[in-house]
Amino acid sequence: MKYKSIIVLVSAAVVFGGIGCSRTVTIEDWQQDLRTLERQLSERHVDLYHSVSESTFAAAVNDLHQRIPNLTPPEILVRVAQLVALVGDGHTSFFASNQKRWRFHYYPIHLYSFSDGIYLTATTEEYAHLFGKRLVKIDRTPIDEAFRAISTTIAADNNMEYQYTVPFELNRPEMLFELGIAESSDRAEFAFEDGTRQVFTPVTLKRWLDLDWLVVNSLYGPERRSPSMRLEFLFATPLTLPYYEERKYYWYTYLEDHRTLFLQYNVCWNKKGDDRFEEVVERLFAFMDQHPVERLIIDLRQNTGGEPMIAEPLIEGLERQSDLGARGGLFVLVGRRTFSAALTNAAHLRSRAGARIVGEPPRGKPNNPSEGRDIDLERTKIWLTVSTQFVERDPELGDADFLPVDIKRDLSFEEYRRAEDPVLDAALAAQVPPLPTLDDAL
């Protein structure tokens, strides 16, 4: 399965063989679409040269244009990703391995970067003996070097984007091969800390999706498999799993022992056929009026964005009930997935309602080029996104790379394996003055 250019002279054009692509794409197609990409970025980006100089970017485009006749489709896609990553913001992005007409293959594993290293979070029964083993090398490339190489293909606002995205690319054979991490796109040997070595061979995306997955999370096992490979399911806890199984976008529950309301907000959209988010918020505030609530915890860790105004009824309501934030009883849980509209909501809950931020820093800058819009390139059928507006979520934070985190807490592999939630636990353990009683009022 090692990819090579299929050189055929057709009307003086060199024709490439594609990755799962039946249409003929010529050198001229690739070169013209590269120029279209350059022009579209220049015309549509709100500030294309905010992190890279115009001359550096132009030189990179020209260099790739000249190299295209000698590159295979996977090589071109990886180099386009590196070119777009030079722009330096997370909403201007190109995913080489996720182009519908040029789909990369997969190794039958799912990886994640924990506080103590990169581990398998899911695989098939054949490789279940790898659970609990930390990845240290792919072929002869140490994992740190592999991580850095893949990072060059990823558009990012800050370093948390790499922590989030790189593990998803470590199982893509073409990506590993074209970056020199693996010695072949037909196979790769993954080496683990205890000396275990395992050779994997690629499968198609369809096959990967149809695999019978085993998940490390102790909520699952041979008798209870995860109903989805989405991250919210892989990282579910006893508290959240029942709601995920109902495919809820947002919901709340009362943790009576802690006198705490917990609100999960996973998608910045109203779910069709379900209650609108503002209706859920109305009920939440009514509940708070009728029950002793010392703290409200809003979980945005699985929220990658959408429309920020969907959450405005929640933010406005908490802004009016400023005593909750002033007492230190309002918490927002964030993580590397918190992005775009969800980052806007977290920033506004902090600045307008006095929320304390808990978890690990989100992968978006507080104030940055945003509002990503698609660019479709017709000749090669590849696509990318471009930042079309500058979003200022909190002027006081200026050009800070990260939203400030008040209580920092990340996740180790063993905590994940045991289906624990140390970030939620940190919010529950934080000091909050008790609610005033009638005696206090007198």
Altogether, the residues listed in the chain come to a count of: 442
| Other CB atoms within 10 A of residue 314 CB | 25
Task: Give the model confidence (pLDDT) of 399-440 as tens digits.
Answer: 999 999 999 999 999 999 999 999 999 999 999 988 766 455
Closest CA to 361 of 311, 315, 300, 421: 300
Distances (CA, A) of 45 to 50, 78, 369, 408: 10, 21, 8, 34
Q: What is the CATH number of domain 231-365+401-437?
A: 3.90.226.10
Which class for 255: exposed (0-12), middle (13-18), buried (19 or more C-beta within 10 A)? middle
397-426 b/e (C-beta count within 10 Å ≥ 16 → b): beeeebbebeeebbbebebbbebbbbbbeb
Token pair recorded at residue 93: 């992005």
| Other CB atoms within 10 A of residue 171 CB | 25
The pLDDT score that the predictor gives to residue 100 is 87
Find all residues with CB under 8 Å of 404, minimum gap 6, and list them: 350, 357, 397
The DSSP element (H or E) to which 110 belongs, if any, is: strand 109-114
The pLDDT score that the predictor gives to residue 435 is 74
Q: Are 124 and 421 in contact (CB under 8 A)?
A: no
Q: Where are the domains of the chain?
A: 9-95, 109-215, 231-365+401-437
This model's pTM is above 0.75:
yes
CA distance 169 to 402: 24
The pLDDT score that the predictor gives to residue 140 is 97
- Name 124's bridge partners: 213
CA distance 332 to 326: 14
Find all residues with CB under 8 Å of 127, minimum gap 6, and list them: 108, 109, 120, 198, 200
The pLDDT score that the predictor gives to residue 23 is 61
Name the stretches of the chain with pLDDT < 50.
1-18, 22, 438, 441-442
- Torsion 427-433-437-441 (CA) sign: negative
At 170, which amino acid appears? Answer: L
Closest CA to 382 of 34, 120, 85, 38: 34
CA distance 136 to 191: 6
The DSSP element (H or E) to which 414 belongs, if any, is: helix 413-417
The DSSP element (H or E) to which 67 belongs, if any, is: helix 54-67
Tell me which architecture the domain covering 109-215 has in CATH: Roll (2.30)
Closest CA to 305 of 406, 391, 408, 420: 391
CA distance 82 to 95: 10
